[in-house]
Amino acid sequence: MYAVIKTGGKQYRVASGEKIKVEQIAADVGAEITLNEVLAIGEGNSLTVGAPLVAGASVAAKVLAHGKNPKVRIFKMRRRKHYQKHQGHRQPYTELEIGAISAGN
């Protein structure tokens, strides 16, 4: 069984036992969280698509770690104007382990 969830403005296809990195979630390491924004649930050949969410469906996940992604380097320059700007950004993430997927029939 798999599900398509929405968190942090992005969509992820998840199955039980998978580990994913999502935008940072305010939860302690080791905490169990419930993701209620389920867009679709599939099993075998059947697929249930929500409009926009599947009613009563949820995905349980465990917070494994928090961290930062590798640095993205930003360089801006205007030719012939003697303008250069260097900048960097490290996006924080939360690593989740997907547990039970509940269709909520």
pLDDT in tens, 1-14: 999 999 999 999 99
Number of domains present in the structure of the chain:
1
Amino acid at 91: Q
Q: pLDDT for 47-91, tens place per residue?
A: 999 999 999 999 999 999 999 999 999 999 999 999 999 999 999
Report how far Cα 82 is from the mean position of its chain's Cα atoms: 41
Domain hosting 65: range is 2-102
How far is 42 from 1, CA to CA, in rounded Å?
6
Confidence of residue 104 (pLDDT cuts 50, 70, 90): confident
The residue type of 95 is E
**pTM of this prediction?**
0.84
The CA–CA distances, whole Å, from 3 to 12, 15, 75, 81, 91 equal 8, 6, 38, 52, 25
